[in-house]
Structure 1
């Protein structure tokens, strides 16, 4: 691709972000397609996209960036007192007590400490698209480690678990709460349940295309069929399909599965985090300063039993500065997604960031190009 194929605008002072985006796109595969959006102190300052057939309103499967939307709702419910983090989950959801889970608190649940990463028998594709089914099945599941003693990424299920607590407390699904309290008021292109009328804007996910060297790395490090990682990603189930197929299911998009079923543009990702921490279009921040501080406070850090690597989590969010970008402010919170998408808020600099891409990037999770875009955006935001 060439720099002439970069579309969109940047505000004065953010030209370096466009330069980094253009330099990356110029060296990327011909079929690259992605969007980059940045807010600074509630003002959109970067709005870029590239790719044949793409525009600023194109919608992509953002996988685990969905967890950020889900747990922004949980944060709002905690902020208003509807949920209490140190109450036992069973206070809201009595059936959850089965198989030694009675003492687990909501704080432990939302910080990936429950040990309920999946089912021994796994989920069918239809079950994995439905948060209510996931929650019902996991209520009876024995944890894979003693709850509260360790942590591991609840990849496909954390939104169903915390969402069930929200539903028991409010009588409404997490998807309904997100629509009414976050998406609709701000007109965000971030959907937990994509309406049929918006389907023409969805760009189907394309699978990872590793180089021969990257494929050799994958082949040299296979995941066994009954490891914690394979259970967390439902890979032990024959015929469950590839991860890259998940968002291409209309059922998944329609239901808006709260761990990985969200559909968004970069504008939607960045706009949500801007609304969380900044005044946007005359509206006050969704989160009060004390809530923002608690959301971004590291709760689980160290060796992640599922990822088998160092990870850090706040209240349902990744601790983005600790895990990926150490130059960001303490208390930065957000979530990446499997295709390479990334989204976060840095309350100290006023930066809100959103990135999408259509094709999965190797090795999955926040794509390497974010390591070029984020520093440029952060430096510019600090100067404004």
Structure 2
């Protein structure tokens, strides 16, 4: 009923900001760190700071839009802001997926969250891609590091041979093949069933899934090989008509709040991982450090896969992927330096850095306005 009401409200409205149903969409559950801060708390703070001019109704858990429909949904105005995972729309977002598949270059999630945000807000090819898809990019994100969470011991390179690993597609699937495993591309919502029924040996995802997806019930072993982290797409993508109907003051409020929650969600995500892993260990889960052969295989893959990324990007119509990756490397390296001496648990310090180095450099009068 809530979904029907919201859709009817949108259909009946004009373009005036006050008339548009201000829906915020995320397909993770409300208790997830990428929702409870960057959407639930964010919506409250935005409403307060804009004196109610921007008043989002948050729909979590896919209750408004399913994962694969979030990009089209924000373009069409079903949602005014949404999270979107780029893996669901590789044809529509080749630039975002090229960058997202470069997740092995630096596996520090804080660096990659800030770098992907700066890239998405400033790179000309990325900006053109957002515009073509009917979205105003607001900011990025990053999961915590991906680990192998398994229902069987996977401690070494030998152990991983032939194992069925749930992967996020793209580079992750190629890595599985590189080390002799079998990649299985399924949504995160199906990891539990796969491990429980034995159709999967391991789920490769951020370890907060031990709690947020209840994987601790079916996982007996975890390998701490850092298999990248995921950040393709965006944490906040806005409907253009909605964005352009806002006052400059309201857009600046959104910039400030996105700077804060870009940092906040990363701090909270890592806290959730620590809690989930600690609880799972207390419940009997065994944790392995990767052996030298597995670590070496990952390093070999990272070097070799850049050429594959470039070739795949060209096949999807990107004319100069080498230049895009060079720009992204520059931004990643810049953020690695900027964050080197900042406490990764200090939300206020991290948010201040995001504000000063990213959002304060945007022009609230012009960004996303054409």
**What TM bracket, shorter-length normalisation?**
under 0.3
TM-score (norm. length: structure 2): 0.26
Considering fraction of residues, name the structure with more helix: 2
